Amino acid sequence: SDMFGDRKFTYEFDEDIETLVALDINTQDTGAAGITSSQFAIRATEHQQTCIDIIRNIVTTAGYAPQTYGIDIDGNAQSGTALHIREKKSFNTRGKKQTYWQSPLEAIMTSMVHLDAALFPGKGSDGDDTVKVRFADSMSNDLSTMSSALQMLNSAAAISTEMKIAMLHPDWTKKQIAEEVDRVKQENGLAMDSPIMELGDYEQPQREEEQPERQPEGTEP
């Protein structure tokens, strides 16, 4: 039968047209290989590993450690010194970029403050103000590492209560740190009021001068 019929030939693929492929198979010959279904391997693992290798090369070329992006971590969650060693390349790249960005950001923000002071005088900004940019630490130490460091410093009597609280809470303001210092001293019985020297009698009373005993008249001493 005519498979195409009276349809006009085009260069477009028509999904409704059946495609027939002739096979050199003798269906009467029982010894010949018949039609068998085949499912080729998808090889998903190989494709996945190829993609990971490409991403690893891109990240490494950009100056970062693959572990920063979750590659080659093997399910291990590390922190502290081990994390610094493993991601040293990322920390170095981050430090370089901070150096590149710090001065331009300070200049731009300082100009914005000066412009605000010129356009809206007396509204908060001062023409002499300057902006200082400080980047936050990309890795916060876990509580166990910080506790061990504070304990060693405290045992060596090389740190104050205020500094310990500042290290434990680097995002706190000076007012919050001072309030926490007062609470710690109160709870540990270290808070003592300053003595008021005006109260109380601190001077010893003067002794009355002893009068010499009088001798009876007519007697010699």
Q: Mark whether 115 and 69 lie in a shared domain.
A: yes
Residue 28 belongs to some domain of the structure = no
Would you place residue 141 in the very low, low, confident or very high pLDDT band (cuts 50, 70, 90)?
low
Whether 55 shows a pLDDT value over 70: the answer reads: yes
Residue 21 belongs to some domain of the structure = no
Whether 209 shows a pLDDT value over 80: the answer reads: no
Ramachandran bin of 70, using left for φ above 0, alpha for ψ from -120 to 50, beta for the remaining angles: left
Higher pLDDT, 195 or 85: 85
pTM: 0.46
Q: Mark whether 107 and 156 lie in a shared domain.
A: no
pLDDT at 71: 83
d(CA 86, CA 16): 58
Residue 61 belongs to some domain of the structure = yes
Residue 182 belongs to some domain of the structure = yes
Residue 180 belongs to some domain of the structure = yes
Residue 26 belongs to some domain of the structure = no
Q: Mark whether 50 and 102 lie in a shared domain.
A: yes
Token readout for 38 is 């085949």
Would you place residue 1 in the very low, low, confident or very high pLDDT band (cuts 50, 70, 90)?
very low
d(CA 82, CA 87): 9
Average pLDDT over residues 39-64: 91
Q: Mark whether 147 and 115 lie in a shared domain.
A: no
Token readout for 57 is 């090369």
Q: Mark whether 52 and 85 lie in a shared domain.
A: yes
Number of independent structural domains in the chain: 2
pLDDT at 56: 92
Q: Mark whether 61 and 96 lie in a shared domain.
A: yes
Q: Mark whether 59 and 112 lie in a shared domain.
A: yes
Average pLDDT over residues 49-62: 92
Q: Mark whether 50 and 109 lie in a shared domain.
A: yes
Long-range contacts of 94-99, Cβ-Cβ distance < 8 Å, separation of 24 or more: 94/138, 96/63, 98/135
Residue whose pair of structure tokens reads 């039609």 in the numeric block:
35
Average pLDDT over residues 115-127: 83
Average pLDDT over residues 108-133: 86
What value does the mean pLDDT of the chain take? 77
Residue 96 belongs to some domain of the structure = yes
Q: Mark whether 49 and 114 lie in a shared domain.
A: yes
Among the three residues 119, 154, 171, which one is the final residue of a domain in this structure?
A: 119
Give the residue numbers spanning the domain of 58.
44-119
Q: Mark whether 112 and 171 lie in a shared domain.
A: no
Whether 165 shows a pLDDT value over 70: the answer reads: yes
Whether 72 shows a pLDDT value over 80: the answer reads: no
User: Which region among 50-54, 86-90, 141-145 has the lowest average model confidence (pLDDT)?
Assistant: 141-145
Residue 25 belongs to some domain of the structure = no
Q: Mark whether 115 and 159 lie in a shared domain.
A: no
